[in-house]
Structures are given as C-alpha cells and as structure tokens.
Structure 1
C-alpha cells in the first residue's frame, strides 16, 4: 500500500470538493472494499476521504409522501434489524441479511455496498485488464465460471451487490450530491454496462456522492430473495434473485423479479415482469415463464450453468410464494 493523505470532512460539500480537486482521491465509508483494493495495490490513491463524520448521511426514516429514506452511511447491520425497513422494504432487509458476515455488516454501509467494485479475480489481481485501463478482458479466454451471461462486452464482470438487486426490484431511487446541487436517478439508470463505460459500474462523476436511497412504499406485498453461493459460509453470489409480488387468490396482480450474478449490472430480464401481470401461479405457467427467460444470454465457456440456475430460481421463487 502506498502512502496517502487521510481527510475527514464534516460536510458533503467539503468531501465533494476534495474529490473534485484530486483524481487520486477516493471515498471511505465502511472500508470493507476500498481498503482491500489499496492494500493489494490495485489502485494507488493519494487521498482517502472519510465520510464517517458526516452524521447527516446516517438515518432511516419514513416519509408518507416519498417513502422510505435511508442515508448512504447507514450500516447494513442497522438495516438488517430495523423495523421500519421491515415494514416498508422487507425485500431490502432480506437481501442485506445475505451479505457477508455479521462483523462485516456492522462495518459496511448501504452506499458502499451499492458502489463496491467488481470481485473479478483478474480485476483484483495483477492483470492489466480493461477495467483498469488495459485492452483485454482475460475472462473471455480464461477462467470465466463466475462471470456474466448477459450484458457483457468488452468487459464481463458481474455486479457484486446483493442490496442493489433488491433495490432494483423495489424501484428505488438514488440521490446524488456534487457539493452544490442534488439530483435523483432511478436504480435502473444508476448502473451502467461496460459498453457505455468499461471502467465504471455507475454514473457517478468526479465529485459526486451517493447520499440517499429512496424506496417508494411497496404496500402489502410479498417479498422473496434467494442467493446461491459456492460456499456454505458467506460468499458473493453465483446467482441471486429478488422478487416482490402483489398476490390475491394465487394470482399475481403485479410483480417484479430481478437478478444478481448474471450481468455487469443488477439485471431486469426483458419482458418477464410484463408476464407477471395477472399471472396465475400454477406449474404450467411457471414452467412457461422460466423457459422463456435469458433467451438472449451469451454464456462463456464455463458459465452456461447460470442460465439453467436462473430458470430454476424463477420456479423456486414463484413456488415459494
């Protein structure tokens, strides 16, 4: 790890100013991701901008007009046990419980989990891959068991955030602050594919900070989250699925299903959620729906199992309702 300057701003404006002035500055919140990148010399940042003193970014509150608001510095452990989150965004709580270990959830923040960097071992290793400014995605011809089956090219990472998969299903919005102005974008528009920018996972520009997550009231709906891991202990998802459903008499009036571990962004499969309108839950319909998904998937040499796994998880999540 190289030497760096440690800064502790007291406001979002000051933190944004530090980031804008130095391209080698990086935000520090829980530290569960960025410190590993620095210790392994993946990135040599010269300034570490600690957000922990900005208390205005740590909260969970409900607004009847807007929905649930969660500050970006709120720890995952707080979201995991908060009754307000359980009432208004149970799906997020279910996903957070699947993240890492209790110790890590007590350090990691929701903003950091959303904005974390990929876990690709080429990116995290000594390879000068596309995402680090090189011209090669080594996963294409190498070990690609854990890489994406859709949305890839020229880089084939998968997005590592479990919470982001749930937030996409919840139609969440993200508030972004550049120190002077604020804007709100949908979760769907926050994440970007490699074809748009092969060195970034989201739209944040220099000086911009994710400050708040806004989740509209989902009402009395059923939430489900399933995460498949390679190890029994904590691990990142081979594949995950999030679902939220408005159900009456075994009929899904409306619903939304999203996926993790399949694409460089949290993924909403084209057409599937339209099929969930007035969807009768029976074996025939479930099989038909599961067989129709990921028709445009382009698996690499070692990860075609993800297509089969995704189809089976759709069956499981619908049968578990």
Structure 2
C-alpha cells in the first residue's frame, strides 16, 4: 500500500470540501482498503467519515424511509420497518457477504463499491476501467461473472451490489452533499453504463458525498429476492432478481423488477414490467417478460450461460411472487 494522507471529517460539509480537493472517502472500508492494498486505487489523501452522524433510519413525512449513508448493512437488514415493509431489501442484504462484512459495510459504500471483474483487480492485465485506453482483457478472457446487458466494446464489468438491486426495484432516491449545496437524484441515475468511458462509473461530481438514501412508501404486493450464485453463501450474484408484484383478479396490476449480475449497473427495464401489466399471472407472462429482458443480451463466450440462466431466474422469481398472491 502506498503512503497517503489521512484525515477525519468533522461533518458532511467538511468531508465534501476535502473530497472536492481530491480526497477519497473512507466509510466501512470493506472495498476501498482491498483496492488500496492491491494498488488498484492509490489515493494521495483519504478522509474518514465513519464517525459522522449518518447512522439513522427514520420515517419520512410521506410514509417512506430515510436511511443514513453510514447505516451498516446488518442494521439495515434487521431494522423492523425494513423487514416488514421492504422485505426485498432485507433479503438482498442478508444474501450478500459475511456477517463480519455486513457489520462494517455501509449503505453509501455499498452503492459505490467497485466491480469484482478479475482483470480490474489484476494490475498486470489490460482494463479500461482501471487504466483507460489499455483495452479489456475480459472480452476474450475469463468473463464468466461479467455482463450480458449494458456493456460496451470497452468494458463488460458488472456492478456487484445486492442492496442496490433491491433499492432500484423500490425506486430509491439518493441524497448528496457538496460544497455547492445539496441535491437528490434517483438511484436509477446514479450509475452510468461504460460506453466509451468505463472509468466513469457514477454521475457524482467532485466533492459530492452520499448522505442518505430515501425509500418511497412501501409498494403494494408481494416482494421477493432471488439470487443465483456459484456457491450457497458469500458469493456475488451470477443473476439476481428483486421483484415486487401486485395481482388483482388473477392479473398483474403492478410490477417492479430489477436485476443484478447482468449489467454494469443495477438493471431495470420499464418494458419488461410493461410486458407483465394486465397479463394473467402465470408462465406465459414470465416468458414474455424474459423475451423483452434478453432481447439485446450478448454473451462473450464464458458468460453465454447467463442468458438462459437469467430467463430461468426471472421465471422462478415471478412464480414465487405470483403463486403466493394469485
């Protein structure tokens, strides 16, 4: 690990000011410290925000929930309101990592964690995300865990978060603070696809710090999180589905579906949901939704299997959601 300057933020404005000057934010450190040890990231300055007062989970005036950026994954998953009103989020969190990591990992850091593409972590390999213009070794290399949707000729890395997939289905918003003030954006707009600039992963401007995540009031219907991985625990998703479905008179009236393991960001396609609305709950609706989801899917050899796996996982999730409510 290379030498760096360390400071502790006095508050969110102080953290934002130091970040605007080039410092890297440190919260739980579950991802950043590994990247620094491997010299994938070598910040000259780090600002520690772990002691800031951003650990609350509080109701909003409209019946939603505001989650502080430093709420740990463990505390969020076990919160009574989250377990009862947003079970898809609790289940997604509990499916990720180990208990020890969940005890340290934070809400804000989870959203901003970096890809687990093996070539991103290997400083001897070509990686446009780590070293722009160097190429993408994953295109013809070991790409088993990588993207079949939303990638580009420059990068097929996937976003690794389980939590972000559930929050995407829940239509979460993200509160930001910078030296210029505060703003809110939809979580859907936080992450960007690689295109020609895979090194740009979010829309955050220099100095912007996540202070909280806001969930709208709990949606109607049943919620489920289905995760397929190489081993039963402590593994990132090959494919995951966060689903929320409401049914009336045997037909689907509302649907929200977000996918992990398939794309460089938590993936949600309104056309997939539109294919379900008004349809009788059953296999035909699931097949139609899968056709829309995978219409533009593209494998790269080692990850070709993800396309039929995504179809089966979506059908399984919809079966779990609809059989219990039909």
Normalised by the size of structure 1, how large is the TM-score? 0.95
- 1:214 corresponds in structure 2 to 214
In 2, the alpha carbon distance for the partners of 1:11 and 1:285 equals 50
In 2, the alpha carbon distance for the partners of 1:101 and 1:250 equals 39
- 2:118 corresponds in structure 1 to 121
RMSD over aligned CA atoms reads 1.5
Residue from 11, 14, 26 that aligns with 2:24: 26
Return 304-313 or 278-287, whichever deviates more.
278-287
In 2, the alpha carbon distance for the partners of 1:196 and 1:53 equals 37
Is this contact kept in 2: 1:62–1:84, CA < 8 A?
no
Is this contact kept in 2: 1:61–1:84, CA < 8 A?
no
Deviation per residue, 1:66-110 (Å, 9 max, x gap): 611001110000011100112332221111111101111000001
In 2, the alpha carbon distance for the partners of 1:77 and 1:143 equals 32
- What does residue range 62-77 of structure 1 map to in structure 2 within 5 Å? 62-65=59-62, 67-77=64-74
- 1:104 corresponds in structure 2 to 101
- 1:84 corresponds in structure 2 to 81
Is this contact kept in 2: 1:13–1:180, CA < 8 A?
no
With over 3 angstroms needed to count, the CA separation of the structure-2 counterparts of 1:198 and 1:290, relative to structure 1, is: closer
In 2, the alpha carbon distance for the partners of 1:284 and 1:88 equals 29
In 1, the alpha carbon distance for the partners of 2:46 and 2:147 equals 31
In 2, the alpha carbon distance for the partners of 1:160 and 1:266 equals 9
In 1, the alpha carbon distance for the partners of 2:307 and 2:5 equals 45
List runs of 5+ in structure 1 lacking aligned partners: none
In 2, the alpha carbon distance for the partners of 1:107 and 1:167 equals 19
In 2, the alpha carbon distance for the partners of 1:96 and 1:232 equals 15
- 1:146 corresponds in structure 2 to 145
In 1, the alpha carbon distance for the partners of 2:101 and 2:274 equals 37
- 2:5 corresponds in structure 1 to 5
Structure 1: 4+ residue segments shifted above 3 A: none
The Cα of 1:47 is off from its aligned counterpart by 1.4
Is 1:274 equivalent to 2:271 in the alignment?
no
- What does residue range 133-212 of structure 1 map to in structure 2 within 5 Å? 133-135=131-133, 136-153=135-152, 154-195=154-195, 197-212=197-212
Q: How many residues matched? A: 318
In 2, the alpha carbon distance for the partners of 1:139 and 1:161 equals 20
List runs of 5+ in structure 2 lacking aligned partners: 322-326
Deviation per residue, 1:2-48 (Å, 9 max, x gap): 111221111111111111113xx211111100000001111111212
- 2:324 corresponds in structure 1 to none
The Cα of 1:128 is off from its aligned counterpart by 4.2
Instruction: Report the 3-state secondary structure (helix = DSSP H, G, I; strand = E; otherwise coil) of the residue aligned with 2:289.
Output: helix
Instruction: Report the 3-state secondary structure (helix = DSSP H, G, I; strand = E; otherwise coil) of the residue aligned with 1:320.
Output: helix
Instruction: Report the 3-state secondary structure (helix = DSSP H, G, I; strand = E; otherwise coil) of the residue aligned with 2:119.
Output: coil
Is this contact kept in 2: 1:12–1:179, CA < 8 A?
no
Instruction: Report the 3-state secondary structure (helix = DSSP H, G, I; strand = E; otherwise coil) of the residue aligned with 2:318.
Output: helix
